[in-house]
Structure 1
Amino acid sequence: MATPLIIAQQILSAITNSAGDSLLSVSQTNATTNGTSAVSVPTPTAMPTDLASLLTFLFSFSALRDWFKLIVIGSVFETARRLVFHFYYKLINSIFITARFQEDDNSYSWMMIWLSKQPAWTEARDVEISTHSFGLSDYEDREGLEGEDEPMSLASGGRKVAFLPSISSTYTIWYKNRWMRVTRTEKQTGYYGKAEETLEICILAWDRRVLNQLLLEAKKEYMSAKEQSISIYVSDVSNNWRHVASRPKRPLHSIVLDPGIKDLLIDDATDFLQSKNWYSVRGIPFRRGYLLYGAPGSGKTSIIHSLAGELGLDVYVISLSRAGLDDNALSGLISELPQKCIALMEDIDAAFTQTLNRDEEPTPPVPGGPPAPPSSKISLSGLLNALDGVGAQEGRILFATTNKYSSLDPALCRPGRMDIHIEFKLASKYQAAELYRRFYMPDAEEESEKGSVDSGYASISDEKEKDLIALDDTSSEASEPSTPAKTSPPPLEVPVFIGGSHRFRAPKLSREQIDDFATQFSEAIPEREFSMASLQGYLMMYKIRPADAAKEAGEWVARERADKAAKLAALEAAESKKAAAKQQVASKPQEIPAPAEVKVEKTAESS
């Protein structure tokens, strides 16, 4: 195979020969035309064909020599520059440790909490003032403004300000006698996109373990502040998980359910989280699903909140009815769940306009009625594949709630997707009595003390027996302090309200009295007729009047029954009226239009 040099030499030789022949023929033609004698024509100089001659020929031009010198000198300088910067960055990277934190990552919140507590920000001249809690509902131990009193802090919602690094500013602080540079930048992700922040930290240190120590310290500080709360995450329009709120942990004993339900849930979930190796050895996907169904207000969401705090897991809410969520987005969201978390799908049946049971026929549209609302983009097959498909995340605990258990497809309820099904019924007499005790008893750590003002409880002693109200005295006057009688004109308008005012102190009750009131309250509540939410709403009206709450429970039940009967009667009347209107429309004879008269004109020939 010919080399490129040989090919170039052949091309140059051909060009030289053709140019010489053309010049010679032109000269001969001119001589013949003019009729002159032959004149000696100089032979053109041949072009160099070898590389050395070619270079000599090219360098004979001064312009090319100058350009070549510039290229060589520039190449030398560029190479030197790159070598210098290469060794410079290598030296910098060997003595400096640089870390970057994105705003949508949890580590960003760790570092911002840690930075806000550094004393260096109190002397900085360019800072950002923020009341952001960075995912901590009880993050109130930061320094407040100088001269700010506690009432002012409470009036502003209980949040204190924090000093943070400003955007596009660089700060220098010291960490364990090491120089550290902090830079916070902001970048627009799109034309209409949200600006994303990045925190950059540069530490002067040879050992990289300094960065690990900093991250561990920031994480421990964040987790210690988060110890009494759980984080709630939801999906945004970009199908990414975003932290939206933190909620205080709810004690498990504050949830009143039928006996055995709480123990079943906590024992099964705890055993699951500790059985990862058992699942792996047997080749079983490390997932667990719970289906909670029953009447509204029976405590399904409350027990999930309490269980998350008991297990120390965050809650990721999956809203199947969110706009823009389809099968692919749902599968991506579930695959991006952390290994240990609670995935919550509330009202899983309400996310679809049609039933989630493939065996049932879809409801036909009402003739003449409004068009059906647009159906969810989530299909049943897409939901099933997202729950236990190839890309489904392992290690998570799935909770699904529904009020219509019969509308769910058997494929959705099978083991592997929903392993345990628990029914939540309306309140029983046992639950009513326990709710009353929990409502008016103080916290466990305060039982040995005098009790809170609103608890309705106080530990008894011999010298304070006279402060206890009698069991047979259930009048509301015991809740109010005695005032001297005086004559006053009657008010022009008497306010009507239900419940008690916080101006009055709750009566002091013993444990025996509360038990008796709880029994009286539970006897007035019918079995499985009211939800726990409605009973709690009733007790909230008597927050500091426990005696009245037990005494007037029967009257409240009668009023609720009357209201339900009135609503049911109104609903039946509306349904009967609608049915009568439909029947009248159906029985009305339809007018059939008469056929149009056709006139036949006789032509001249037929006539």
Structure 2
Amino acid sequence: MADDIVQQVLSLLSQPTALPSSCTDAAANATVTSMGGSATLAGGISQVGLLSPLVTLFLWFSKLPDWLKLLIVGGVVESCRRTMFSFYNRVLSAFFITATFEEDDDAYDWMMIWLSKQPSWNSAREVQISTKSFGLRGEVATVPGEEAGAAALLGDSRTLSYLPAPSTAHIFWYPPDAPWHMRRRITVSRMQRNAGGYYGGMEESLELRILTRSHTTLNRLLLDAKRTHLAEKENKISIYVADINDSWRHVASRPKRALNSIVLDPGIKNLLIDDARDFLESRDWYGDRGIPFRRGYLLYGAPGCGKTSIIHSMAGELGLDVYIISLSRAGMDDTKLSELISELPTKCIALMEDIDAAFTSGVTTRAQDTSATEEPEKNKREGPREDSSPIASRVSLSGLLNALDGVGAQEGRILFATTNHYEKLDPALCRPGRMDVHVEFRLASKYQARELFRHFYAPRHKRDDGRAPEQEKVADSGYNTAPSSDVSSCASEEAAEQCTGQLHHSARLFRMDAAVADALAARFAEAVPERQFSMASLQGYLMGYKIRPQDAVDDVEGWVATQMTDKVGKHAKGATLVDKGAEKVEET
């Protein structure tokens, strides 16, 4: 078919074209009449030469098939249409500024919160109702009128907010409080599209089109949205984790935790916070000496001694977000780890918890030791088997070291690594430059037990004059509201026992005088043995006496005796299992 079309077109082009008789006669008459006028003859030949291609093209086009004519005409029309629209878009874009925000970027959350607070949404005809908080507290963006009656209307449930409806253009004027001649027309479009890939899903983006030739309005809008978001999250820290696409995604926001709520041995908190602040203020110092601007902290010790808590508190104190790096995540390898660390912000806290469990060899050793002592007969029947630990990771020690201080490692970040088995870490991982500060977290001392009890029952902040307030109300959300007993007048330990002994668990508000709390705290610390229990276990014990401090002091000796007996029994059982395992090994 295609060959026939080509042959037909070539035959049409090869046919001689006869000029009309009128043209031939006119040329002959001009030649006879003006034999002596060479200039006139040349002019006639020139005119015929110019007209001949046009005439030939017209005659050739008239002989083409209809379908080919339609194809040529349609192509010409479409080309003209595209040219006109391209010119129109170029002219239009000269008067508009377009800004796009992707869903996985922080700026997207800023804009969604900012848009939900705009007065124009009160009169919008198409909106999406959402309970998303975008990492902020629920009352940031709410339906008008909900703030006053939220508890009665929704029973303290998640609040509602207006958001732009997907695939719909919304128009408003900004700034709303400016004179009419200074306002700019803004079109907002929220678009959703298929993410594609193996896991699929939907991706969202936000597009803003501003009718202005200057970036002044866009800059003001962005700063306004950022200030609004930062002001609302002033007392929160953001938590990020890596998603299945190996991109950082915001998963939660947590309230900042005051440093005085963390009870550690004297000097540890000051050491960590002062060193971190000095690092953040020393970028030029590092640069002048050619030292990579990175800082690493290794926190090690028994579980439940406050390693994660101090990191949480320091993040709030320094105003940094926390990026959790899980080395044992499924699919994690050296390349992905290096990419994640290189994409960290310049100022943040990177957290690697239980770094000793990241490598298969260390976990396998412990797993095989346990198996050999507890199930020797099963191992003997089944024979040797490959490691099937769910914590197995494809991250190698070399890959981790290169990610921490390699060429592509991010600068400006603070790395915190925690471990319960300091002796299992490779010396190359613990050297300065990777882990600069090593801090041991030991089991609770009597000082820590006393401070924990005092803060648990009488949390207080010092006034400017250094004196503590007389009374402090502590809300206990674990119980229903009920009238509380007044123990603020208990000035002695005996009076405190009488007052607090009458309190019931249904009471929600509890108040204790600082002097009474100090006296009970001293008794509590005296009953707790030195370096035998973790802070988490002591706090767990006190949680059972949330508003009964006197009962907590009276019962602590019995609790300590029970815990010590259980601990001795566990050690004896473990030693027996080890001995049996050794005997089985010798027999085999």
Range into which the TM-score falls when normalised by the shorter chain: 0.7 to 0.9
Structure 2 unaligned spans of 5+: 1-10, 16-48, 176-182, 373-378, 477-485
Answer yes or no: is the 8 Å Cα contact 1:321–1:376 preserved in 2: yes
The aligned counterpart of 1:180 is 186
One of 403, 414, 437 as aligned partner of 1:397: 414
Is 1:335 equivalent to 2:342 in the alignment? yes
Assess if the C-alpha contact under 8 Å between 1:230 and 1:313 holds in 2.
yes
What CA distance in whole angstroms lies between the structure 2 residues aligned with 1:573 and 1:364? 13
Range moving further from structure 2, 113-122 or 82-91: 82-91
Report the aligned-residue RMSD: 3.5
Helix, strand or coil at the partner of 2:128: strand
Is the Cα contact below 8 Å between 2:520 and 2:553 reproduced in 1? yes
- Residue 376 (structure 2) aligns with: none
Q: How many residues end up aligned between the 2 structures?
A: 510
Change in Cα spacing, 1:363 to 1:572, as seen in structure 2 (3 Å) is closer
Partner SS, residue 193 of structure 2:
strand
The answer for the alignment partner of 1:380 in structure 2 is 397
Identify the residue that residue 493 of structure 1 maps to in structure 2.
Answer: none
What is the Cα deviation at residue 84 of structure 1?
A: 3.3
Select 1:248's aligned residue among 245, 255, 259.
Answer: 255
Separation (CA, whole Å) in 2 of partners of 1:183 and 1:351: 44
**Preserved CA contact (<8 Å) 2:280 2:412:** yes
Query: Partner of 2:521 in structure 1?
Result: 518
- Quote the residue 2:425 is aligned against: 408
Q: Give me the whole-angstrom Cα distance separating, in 2, the residues matched to 1:421 and 1:195.
A: 44
1:476/1:91 CA distance change after superposition, 3 Å: farther
SS in structure 2 opposite 1:237? Answer: coil
How many angstroms does 1:551 deviate by? 2.8
- 2:28 maps to what in 1? none
Q: Which residue does 2:444 correspond to in 1?
A: 427
Q: 1:535 aligns with which of 538, 544, 552?
A: 538
Query: Which one-letter code corresponds to 1:306 in the other structure?
Result: S
**Letter aligned with residue 170 of structure 1:** A
Answer yes or no: is the 8 Å Cα contact 1:480–1:505 preserved in 2. Answer: no
Quote the Cα distance in structure 1 between the aligned partners of 2:337 and 2:112.
Answer: 31
Shift of the 291–505 alpha-carbon distance from structure 1 to 2, 3 Å rule, reads closer
* 3-state SS of paired residue (2:339): helix
- Structure 1 residue 433: Cα displacement: 1.2
Tell me the amino acid that sits aligned with residue 412 of structure 1: L
CA distance in 2, matches of 1:342, 1:468: 45
Aligned CA distance change for structure 1 residues 580 and 154 (closer, same or farther; 3 Å): farther
Describe the superposition over 1:324-349 as per-residue Cα deviations: whole angstroms up to 9, x where unpaired: 11000000000000000000000000
Aligned-pair CA distance for 1:439? 1.3
Corresponding position of 2:494 = 472
Please identify the structure whose Cα radius of gyration is greater: 1
Within 2, Cα distance between the matches of 1:382 and 1:242? 23
3-state SS, counterpart of residue 334 of structure 1: helix
**Cα distance in 1, alignment partners of residues 77 and 250 from structure 2:** 52
Q: Secondary structure at the match of 2:435?
A: coil
Q: Flag the 1:328–1:51 CA change in 2: closer, same or farther, 3 A.
A: farther
* Contact 1:347/1:402 (8 A) holds in 2: yes
Matched residues in 2 for 1:220 and 1:88: separation?
A: 37
> What is the CA-CA distance between 1:124 and the residue it aligns to?
2.2
Matched, 1:168 2:184: no
Deviations 1:518-545 (A, max 9, x none): 2111111111111111111112222212
Deviation of 1:92 (Å): 1.4
**Offset at residue 511 of structure 1 (A):** 2.1
Q: Distance in 1 between matches of 2:204 and 2:168?
A: 13
The Cα offsets for residues 282-335 of structure 1, whole Å up to 9 and x where unpaired, read as: 111111101001111111000000000000000000000000110000000000
5 Å-filtered alignment, 1:235-314, equals 235-314=242-321
Q: What is the TM-score when the length of structure 2 is the normalising length?
A: 0.78
In the superposition, relative to structure 1, how do residues 64 and 211 fare at CA in structure 2: closer, same or farther (>3 Å)? farther
Partner Cα distance (1:196, 1:235) in 2: 17
Structure-2 change in CA distance of 1:381 and 1:505 (3 Å): closer
Tell me how far 1:97 sits from its aligned partner: 1.5
Q: TM-score normalised to the size of structure 1? A: 0.76
- Whole-Å separation in 2 of the counterparts to 1:314 and 1:250: 13
Which residues of 2 match residues 37-52 of structure 1 at below 5 A?
A: none
Match of 2:434 among 417, 428, 432: 417
Q: Distance in 1 between matches of 2:496 and 2:571?
A: 34
The change in CA–CA distance for 1:133 and 1:541 in structure 2 (over 3 A counts) is same
> Secondary structure, in 3 states, of the residue corresponding to 1:434?
helix
Is the CA contact 1:454–1:543 (under 8 Å) kept in the aligned structure 2?
no
Deviation at 1:149, TM superposition (A): 2.8
What letter corresponds to residue 223 of structure 1 in structure 2? L
Taking a change above 3 Å as real, the CA distance of residues 126 and 148 of structure 1, as seen in their structure-2 partners, is farther
Deviation of 1:143 (Å): 3.3
Which structure features the higher share of helix residues? 2
Q: Does the 8 A contact of 1:59 with 1:65 survive in 2?
A: no
Displacement of 1:445 in angstroms is 7.2
Q: Structure 1 CA distance, aligned partners of 2:576 and 2:453?
A: 38
Counterpart contact for 2:273–2:314, Cα < 8 Å: yes
Deviation at 1:52, TM superposition (A): 11
- Measured in 2, the distance between the counterparts of 1:391 and 1:71 equals 56
**Cα distance between partner residues in 2 of 1:339 and 1:147:** 37
Letter in 1 for 2:190: R
Give the 5 Å matches for 1:487-566: 501-503=505-507, 506=510, 508-566=511-569
Question: Are the structure 2 counterparts of residues 61 and 503 from structure 1 closer, same or farther at C-alpha, using a change threshold of 3 Å?
Answer: closer
Say whether 1:448 aligns with 2:469: yes
Mapped to 1, the partners of 2:89 and 2:282 lie a distance apart of: 48
The offset of 1:139, in angstroms, is 4.6
Report the counterpart of residue 196 of structure 2 in structure 1: 190
Asked whether the equivalents of residues 500 and 549 of structure 2 are also in contact (C-alpha less than 8 Å), the reply is no
- Give the share of equivalent positions with the same residue, in percent: 53
**Separation of aligned partners in 2, 1:476 and 1:568:** 40
Identify the range of structure 1 (373-382 vs 337-346) with the bigger mean alpha-carbon deviation. Answer: 373-382
